[in-house]
Structure 1
Amino acid sequence: MTLTLPPAEAARELVEPVLREAVGRLDPHTARVARYHFGWTDDSGQPRADGGKALRPTLAVLSGRAAGADVARCLPAAAAVELVHAFSLLHDDVMDDDPVRRHRPAAWTVFGRSAAILCGNALLTLAVDLLLEQGTPGYVAAARALNLATLSLIAGQAQDLAFQDRDDVTREECLRMSRRKTAALLACACSIGVTAVEGPAGLAAALAAFGTEAGLAFQLADDLLGIWGRTEVTGKPVLSDLRTRKKSLPVVAALTGPTEAGRRLADLLARPEPLTEPDLHDAARLIEQAGGRAWAELEAERRLDAATRHLADADMPADVRDSFLHIARFLAFRDH
């Protein structure tokens, strides 16, 4: 199943002016890295148009609409979430030595590791400043919620890095790590609009629970694409996660199952020498034979069902609920 995010729900055009104004506060060198990372310019600083899908800003705007607020009241919150997401991607690419982001060279390969790290730090600081300068109790609470989500994201990233030196990672540990690293920020995006406009606490809690489950479905889909995704669609090399021997969810599911294929996969990944192209294709085949791919696909569906249940009793306009559900399906079944 392939789904696209409907243009009517994409918040990019509404949020981008807020993001551009925030980035404009940075020093010229850091702002140049940020503009490149956001897809607004090329590596020489010339304008271009190639942003991301703006999933998190869209969710934040929907969150405010769920509480009956005007979209304009939610835009600083939506921009702040996107700034934190951008910070995490900048740092992730450096830590993972990932040379490609959205079909072009990652920022660190163009401007250097130090510049990319500094830019990420600056974007994180801007996110909190953008919320606090609104000066309302709701936005102060939103800043607190975003800080907590960021701390969770960092803890999840640290745990993910630690997994690479272990051969005994369990499926449950991997899910907990994904809940921190990926789902926490999505949960925040789904609820921060309600918090910012001082909407019902029960609605914010329901949307955060929805976002957590949708975030886990997103990570499962991302892990599947990291092994079986096509380069022309994902913008990354085929079998990219296997090249770095990443302990992604399909891999851990395969390694922890009681199968001969799983044992052979463990032996293959334990080799000290770099994996060859035939090795990588063998590893992908063994993961599938050991049930890792099937488990991840079924788990993504299960998480989507759980997300749907969290929305069932939440009081919000029907069109907003439908939009949340459409995005959740996109997250679980996307091919890019």
Structure 2
Amino acid sequence: MPDSMARIAAYHFGWEDAEGEPARADGGKVLRPALTLLCAEAVGGTAQAALPAAVAVELVHNFSLLHDDVMDGDLTRRHRPTAWNVFGAGAAILAGDALLARALELLAGPGEGVAVLSRAVLELVEGQSSDMSFERRSDVGLAECVQMADRKTGALIGASCGLGALVGGGSAERAARLTAFGHRLGLAFQLVDDLLGIWGDPATTGKAAHSDLRSRKKSLPVVAALTSGTAAGGELAALYHQDRPLGDAERVRAAELVEAAGGREWARARAAELVDEALAELDASRPVGAAADHLRDLAGLVTTRDH
């Protein structure tokens, strides 16, 4: 990558500090490339053959994070200032674009890799666009919120698994099953992410307490509460429909209202259901070797993680 973009990317990944000196900051969970490598092995291929695809999906994920932080105005990620907060919004957006270009370059050549990843990026962008439009609306339905999350998170995790199966030499049918496994796992992942965005421990998540409530983000538990038809949901709507960020006391109250209206329990239960559905798709793909057990372990971690 060009030096200017490489510096921002290296900071974002936690390899360097803001001055370009070596650092050992948190680089994220690298869930998506792990799934790519394991799905390649699950169909009888090798992790080595899947490495370019694994790197590509991680670059795409971080392209989306760099842009997402700018659009949401998030000041911290992984326990330190976000890239745009250090280098400026324009520079962070360009660094994200560079990561996307590099990802597609890694998959260039014969095969379906570029097409699979490009479709996932289009879904991701559409999901992010919907997420932003929800900020200006007071009538967001639960079904469209689920569809947004499925595009924003499920599409890339699904593609991570499908790409692994394809480069591992799996059949189209097995790749489709593993894509479905990843898609359901991705939506479960987003549900848990949304729960952590309200109730996660800042010391563990690296984000401020009630971070999603500060900007009145219409995450899945929030929309479930807003559409619950309960008194708590009505009070939450009155808070959320103000034209300003919520104060500290208001964020605490909003979290209480989301829980009272059933949003927290709905998200927990739906995430567990999605993991069960994902595991059924995994079994249908006839995974082989130790990779099958590792994929099941990763699926279990989705609903029990704390960051």
Please say whether Structure 1 and Structure 2 have the same fold, judged by a TM-score greater than 0.5: yes
Matched, 1:299 2:274: no
- Aligned counterpart in structure 2 of residue 146 of structure 1, from 117, 138, 141: 117
Amino acid at match of 1:254: A
One-letter amino acid of the structure 2 residue matched with residue 62 of structure 1: L
Shift of 1:49: 2.4
State the AA in 1 paired with 2:123: S
2:16 aligns with 41
Asked if 1:180 is matched to 2:155, the reply is no
Question: How far has the Cα of 1:318 moved from its partner?
Answer: 4.2
Provide runs of 4+ in structure 1 moved above 6 Å.
none
Counterpart in 1 of 2:76?
A: 100
1:52 aligns to 2:25 (yes or no): no
| 1:1-336 equivalent positions in 2, closer than 5 A | 26-50=1-25, 51-132=27-108, 135=109, 137-138=110-111, 141-336=112-307
In 2 relative to 1, CA 170–315 (structure 1 residues): closer, same or farther, beyond 3 Å? same
Please list the CA deviations of residues 154-183 of structure 1 after superposition, one character each: whole Å capped at 9, or x if unmatched: 000000001111111111111100110000
Residues in 2 aligned to 1:259 and 1:225: alpha-carbon distance in whole angstroms:
23
Deviation at 1:122, TM superposition (A): 0.5
Q: For each residue in 1:19-64, what CA deviation from the matched residue of structure 2 results, as whole angstroms up to 9, or x when unmatched?
A: xxxxxxx111111001111111111111122322211110010111
1:207 partner letter = L
Count of matched residue pairs: 306
d(CA) in 2 for partners of 1:212, 1:240: 26
Q: Unpaired segments of 5 or more residues in structure 2?
A: none
Residues in 2 aligned to 1:85 and 1:274: alpha-carbon distance in whole angstroms: 28
- Inter-partner Cα distance in structure 2 for 1:144 and 1:184: 13
Q: Aligned partner of 1:204: which letter?
A: A
Query: Which amino acid in 2 is paired with 1:219?
Result: Q
Percentage of identical aligned residues: 51
- Describe the SS at the equivalent of 2:303: helix
AA partner of residue 39 (structure 1):
G
For 1:284 and 1:318, locate their aligned partners in 2 and report how far apart those are by CA, in whole Å: 43
Alignment check: 8 A CA contact 2:46 2:168 kept = no
Paired residues of 1:256 and 1:262 also in contact (CA < 8 A): yes
Q: Distance in 1 between matches of 2:115 and 2:95?
A: 22
CA separation in 2, counterparts of 1:113 and 1:197? 38
Deviations 1:282-332 (A, max 9, x none): 111011110010101101111111111111222221421211111112122
Distance between the aligned counterparts of 2:96 and 2:244, measured in 1? 33
Offset at residue 109 of structure 1 (A): 0.7
Q: Separation in 2 of the partners of 1:325 and 1:182?
A: 19
After superposition, the C-alpha distances for 1:69-127 in whole angstroms (9 at most, x for unaligned) are 12211100000000100100000000000011100010001111111010000100000
Deviation at 1:271, TM superposition (A): 2.0
The residue type equivalent to 2:44 in the other structure is G
1:9 maps to: none
Structure 1 residues without counterparts, runs of 5 or longer: 1-25
Query: Which TM-score applies when normalising by structure 1?
Result: 0.89
2:143 counterpart letter in structure 1 = E
Query: How many angstroms does 1:242 deviate by?
Result: 0.4
- After TM superposition, give the deviation of residue 259 of structure 1 in Å: 0.6
